[in-house]
């Protein structure tokens, strides 16, 4: 039996709320954490047609990319569209959970799915976030006690690297010391120089776990006064961040890329429009699901063209020279993420997942200018 709280925990693991922008509103909006969840529907927008679809499918939980109350509220009365959404969800026994900019910045996240839809290779973040800050613990331990000390600090989170745990570097040398009066040495005699074969043990650890790891080290170490260092490591770009950039399978013109994008993305009245020389050859493409005109400078530094949505007139007309632009519907650039998120959640908890195919892009008609 899967509870709503279990689904929230799984989604938070995939898309940590800490990655969300400060202005965002992510997490659980409607629902009892103890409620049982069997069916989950993924969609971009928490709007009335999507809520109706969730009810028709018998979904216990609706997970959307866009928040319901991005700017907060003082009422959920059913006197406006948002309030009616809340009432319909509660009446139908369906919760609402939001993953917005935390899903944008996660890896894999919204722009990874967009990059995959367009066939990009060697994908990396367009605006990368630094990896979580790390420390390195260096400690000197008698040979016979090294494994026990390593196990103790690993139990508190040290030595975790990617999909590996208890990772450490060990070398052997000779430690020497003279216990002074008042000492109670594990090895040696007060007043006499002692030499001990020791292991130099090095492990990395999340900076937030420093206190717990050092406490475990001191409890497990046989010495009265163990010698150790805690070093703060430099931060480096990681796999998470906003947007992605990658290489096209083969160079193509901007006109061909525009047609390919229009074919690959879900159909909308907006379609895909481009700015630049139609014959410009594009080898590298930057993408950002959703609104991304604040990343024009970053895109120009690494790519020939940039695909995003909601491009405004002035930033587009002042874009860095040589950067071709492709502007697609906001909903269409984010929709590919739903299948990825649904699959990852189903792998994490015992629920059935489905993806809404309702087109909730607000633009419903497009007519090219003929004047």
Identify the structural domains of the chain with CATH numbers, from first to last: 4-103 (3.40.1390.30), 107-129+239-333 (3.40.1390.30), 134-232 (3.30.70.120)
Q: Which two tokens stand for residue 9?
A: 């925990």
User: What pLDDT score was predicted for residue 271?
Assistant: 96
User: What pLDDT score was predicted for residue 180?
Assistant: 95
Low pLDDT (below 50) residues in the chain = none
User: What pLDDT score was predicted for residue 206?
Assistant: 96
CA-based Rg of the chain, rounded to a whole angstrom?
27
Number of C-beta neighbours around residue 77 at 10 A: 12
Which residues share a beta bridge with 36?
Answer: 3
**224 burial class (0-12, 13-18, 19+ CB within 10 angstroms)?**
exposed
Helices (H), the chain: 4-14, 48-57, 81-91, 101-105, 110-117, 146-154, 210-220, 254-264, 296-302, 313-317, 330-334, 336-348
Letter string b/e over residues 78-104, b meaning 16 or more CB atoms within 10 A of that residue's CB: eeeebbebbebbeebebbbbbbbbbbb
User: What pLDDT score was predicted for residue 187?
Assistant: 87
Residue with tokens 């998120």: 341
Is 227 in a helix, a strand, or coil?
Answer: coil
Distant-in-sequence, close-in-space partners of 234: CB < 8 Å, separation ≥ 6: none
User: Whole-model pTM?
Assistant: 0.85
User: What pLDDT score was predicted for residue 371?
Assistant: 80
In sequence order, what DSSP letters do the residues of 103-121 get, joined into one string?
A: HHHSSS-HHHHHHHHTT-E
């Amino acid at each position: 039996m899967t509870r709503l709280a279990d689904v929230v925990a799984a989604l938070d693991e995939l898309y940590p709320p800490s990655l969300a922008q400060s202005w965002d509103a992510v997490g659980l909006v409607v629902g009892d954490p103890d409620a049982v969840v069997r069916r989950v529907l993924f969609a971009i927008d928490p709007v009335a047609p999507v809520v109706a679809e969730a009810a028709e499918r018998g979904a216990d939980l609706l997970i959307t990319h866009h928040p319901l109350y991005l700017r907060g509220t003082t009422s959920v009365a059913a006197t406006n569209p948002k309030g009616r959404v809340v009432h319909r969800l509660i009446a139908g026994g369906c919760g609402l959970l939001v993953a917005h900019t935390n899903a944008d910045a996660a890896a894999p996240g919204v722009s990874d799915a967009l990059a995959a839809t367009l066939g990009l290779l060697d994908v990396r973040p367009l605006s990368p976030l630094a990896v979580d800050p790390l420390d390195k613990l260096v400690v000197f331990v008698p040979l016979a006690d090294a494994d026990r000390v390593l196990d103790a600090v690993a139990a508190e989170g040290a030595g975790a690297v990617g999909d590996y745990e208890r990772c450490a570097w060990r070398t052997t040398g000779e430690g020497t010391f003279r216990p002074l009066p008042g000492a109670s040495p594990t090895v040696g005699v007060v007043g006499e120089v002692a030499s001990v074969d020791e292991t130099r043990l090095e492990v990395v650890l999340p900076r937030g776990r420093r206190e717990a790891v050092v406490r475990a080290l001191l409890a497990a170490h046989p010495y009265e006064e163990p010698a150790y260092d805690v070093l703060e490591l430099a931060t480096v770009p990681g796999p998470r961040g906003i947007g992605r950039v990658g290489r096209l399978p083969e160079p193509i013109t901007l006109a061909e890329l525009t047609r390919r994008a229009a074919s690959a993305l879900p159909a909308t009245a907006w379609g895909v429009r481009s700015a630049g020389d139609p014959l410009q050859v594009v080898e590298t493409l930057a993408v950002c699901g959703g609104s991304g005109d604040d990343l024009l400078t970053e895109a120009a530094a690494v790519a020939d063209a940039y695909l995003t949505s909601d491009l405004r007139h002035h930033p587009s007309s002042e874009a860095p020279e040589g950067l071709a632009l492709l502007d697609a519907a906001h909903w269409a650039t984010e929709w590919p993420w739903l299948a990825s998120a649904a699959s990852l959640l189903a792998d994490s908890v015992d629920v059935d997942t489905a993806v809404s195919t309702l087109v909730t892009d607000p633009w419903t008609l497009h007519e090219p200018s003929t004047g």
